[in-house]
C-alpha cells in the first residue's frame, strides 16, 4: 500500500525469536540500551510515491550502499519514548502524540518528508503488540522505543534525498540510575556551544549529539556527569545540558527555565513539568537565566534547587556546578522537595499509578 495517512502494516513474525528462558535472563538486568527485542518496523519513502511497504519484521542489520545519502549529508532524525506496564496488567505509552509532532518538526527542519502522525503512532503500537513479552514486569523497567528515519537514496550531491527509510526498534531498559536517583555534577563548558540561532538546535537529529561528544568528554575530564551549554551569541545564558532541559527552583517556589528560541530542544518532559507545576499553582517563567544568576542565586539562596529533565532519566537533580572559575553547590545540595516531588508525580502518571489530568497516557494493550 502506498501514500496516505493510514497504512496497513504487514506482519512478518521473526522465525527465530529469543527463547522465553533466554529473554527472562536478559530482562533480569537489562541495563539501558544494551539489548533489543525480536522485531523492528520499516516503512519506505520515495519521491512521487510517498510512504509505502509498512512492515513489522525480524530485527536485522540494514543493507546500506556506501553512497547512501545519510552517510555523506547526515539527513537523519530520531525520537525516544517509553512504553510501561500498568497496574492492571496492560501496556501504555506516555505522550506519543507529542513525539509524533516533534518528529514531523524535525523532518521539516532537515528537509525530509513528514511521516503522517497516524503512521508514527501505529508503528509504535504494532511493535509493542508483537514484542509485549520484552517489557520488564517491574516498577522500574520499561520498553524504550526508538523511531528514526534517514536518507537512503544512493547518490552524491548536496540536495535533499528522494528516498528515505523509517524504522522503529525497541530496547527493554531498567532504571536509568541503578543505585537510585542521585544529584549529578555538571560542567559549564567555556569552549563549546550546542546550537546557534537559525541552526538545528530544535531538531532531534544525530548531528546535534555528535557535535556534543567532545564537550561531554571535557565534562568527564573535570569529574562531571554532564555538560551545560551557554548560549552561542553572548556565552552568558544557560541553554541546556548535553541531552536534557534544565529548570531552576526559586525561593518563592516558582520555576524558571530557558525559553524555546530555536536553539533548545523542545523536550516533552520539559513541557510536562511546566504543565504539572502550573497545575499545582507554581509560577513557571520561561526566560533567559544567566550563569551568573545561577551562581549568585545559589550563594544567596535565591535559587534553591536545579534539575535536568528528559525521557531517559525523567528528572535528575543537579548538585554541584563546576566551571573554569571554580564550583558551587545548589542550596539544597541537589535533592530538593520540589524536584523530587515533580519527579515522583510524573513517574506515577507515566506508569498509571496516579491521576492523568491531561490525558497523556495512551493505552496500547
Residues with a catalytic annotation lie at: 204
Residue 102 has which C-alpha cell?
Answer: 516533534
H/E stretch holding 255 reads: strand 255-257
Return the exposure string of 15-54: e unless at least 16 CB atoms fall within 10 Å of the residue's CB, then b: eebbeeeebeebbeebebeebbbbbbbbbbbbeeeebebb
Which residues on neighbouring strands pair with residue 257, listed in sequence order? 286
CB proximity list for 22: less than 8 A, separation 6 or greater: none
SS3 at position 85: strand
What distance in Å separates the CA atoms of residue 28 and residue 109, rounded to the nearest whole number?
40
Bridging pattern class, strands 50-58 and 10-11: parallel
CA dihedral 330, 335, 338, 344 (to 10 degrees): 150
Tell me which H or E stretch contains 245: strand 245-250
Instruction: Find all residues with CB under 8 Å of 160, minimum gap 6, and list them.
Output: 75, 111, 112, 151
Kindly state the DSSP code that residue 263 receives in the 8-state scheme: S
Provide DSSP, 88-106.
Answer: TS-EEEESHHHHHHHHHHH
Nearest in space to 249 (alpha carbons), one of 357, 356, 343, 166 = 343
Amino acid at each position: 500500500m502506498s501514500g496516505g495517512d493510514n497504512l496497513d502494516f504487514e506482519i512478518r513474525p521473526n522465525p527465530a525469536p529469543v527463547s522465553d528462558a533466554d529473554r527472562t535472563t536478559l530482562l533480569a538486568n537489562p541495563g539501558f540500551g544494551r539489548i533489543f527485542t525480536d522485531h523492528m518496523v520499516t516503512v519506505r519513502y520515495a519521491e512521487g510515491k510517498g510512504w509505502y511497504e509498512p512492515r513489522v519484521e525480524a530485527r536485522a542489520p540494514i543493507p546500506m550502499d556506501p553512497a547512501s545519502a545519510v552517510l555523506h549529508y547526515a539527513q537523519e532524525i530520531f525520537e525516544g519514548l517509553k512504553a510501561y506496564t500498568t497496574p492492571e496488567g496492560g501496556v501504555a505509552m506516555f505522550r506519543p502524540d507529542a513525539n509524533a509532532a516533534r518528529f514531523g518538526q524535525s523532518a521539516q527542519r532537515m528537509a525530509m518528508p513528514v511521516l503522517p502522525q497516524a503512521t508514527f503512532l501505529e508503528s509504535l503500537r504494532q511493535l509493542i503488540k508483537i514484542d509485549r513479552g520484552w517489557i520488564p514486569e517491574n516498577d522500574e523497567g520499561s520498553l524504550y522505543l526508538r523511531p528514526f528515519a534517514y536518507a537512503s537514496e544512493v547518490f552524491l550531491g548536496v540536495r535533499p534525498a528522494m528516498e528515505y527509510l523509517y524504522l522503529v526498534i525497541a530496547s527493554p531498559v531498567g532504571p536509568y540510575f541503578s543505585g537510585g536517583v542521585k544529584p549529578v555534577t555538571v560542567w559549564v563548558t567555556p569552549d563549546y556551544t550546542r546550537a546557534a540561532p537559525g541552526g538545528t538546535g530544535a531538531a532531534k537529529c544525530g548531528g546535534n549529539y555528535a557535535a556534543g561528544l567532545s564537550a561531554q568528554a571535557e565534562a568527564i575530564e573535570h569529574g562531571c556527569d554532564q555538560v551545560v551549554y551557554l548560549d552561542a551569541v553572548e556565552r552568558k545564558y544557560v541553554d541546556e545540558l548535553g541531552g536534557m532541559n534544565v529548570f531552576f527552583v526559586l525561593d518563592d517556589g516558582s520555576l524558571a527555565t530557558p525559553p524555546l528560541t530555536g536553539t533548545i530542544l523542545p523536550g516533552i518532559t520539559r513541557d510536562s513539568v511546566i504543565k504539572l507545576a502550573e497545575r499545582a499553582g507554581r509560577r513557571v517563567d520561561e526566560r533567559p537565566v544567566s550563569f551568573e544568576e545561577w551562581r549568585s542565586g545559589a550563594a544567596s539562596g535565591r535559587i534553591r534547587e536545579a534539575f535536568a529533565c528528559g525521557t531517559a532519566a525523567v528528572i535528575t537533580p543537579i548538585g554541584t556546578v563546576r566551571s573554569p572559575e571554580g564550583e558551587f553547590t545548589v542550596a539544597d545540595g541537589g535533592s530538593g522537595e520540589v524536584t523530587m516531588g515533580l519527579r515522583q508525580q510524573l513517574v506515577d502518571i507515566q506508569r498509571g499509578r496516579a491521576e492523568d489530568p491531561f490525558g497523556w497516557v495512551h493505552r496500547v494493550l
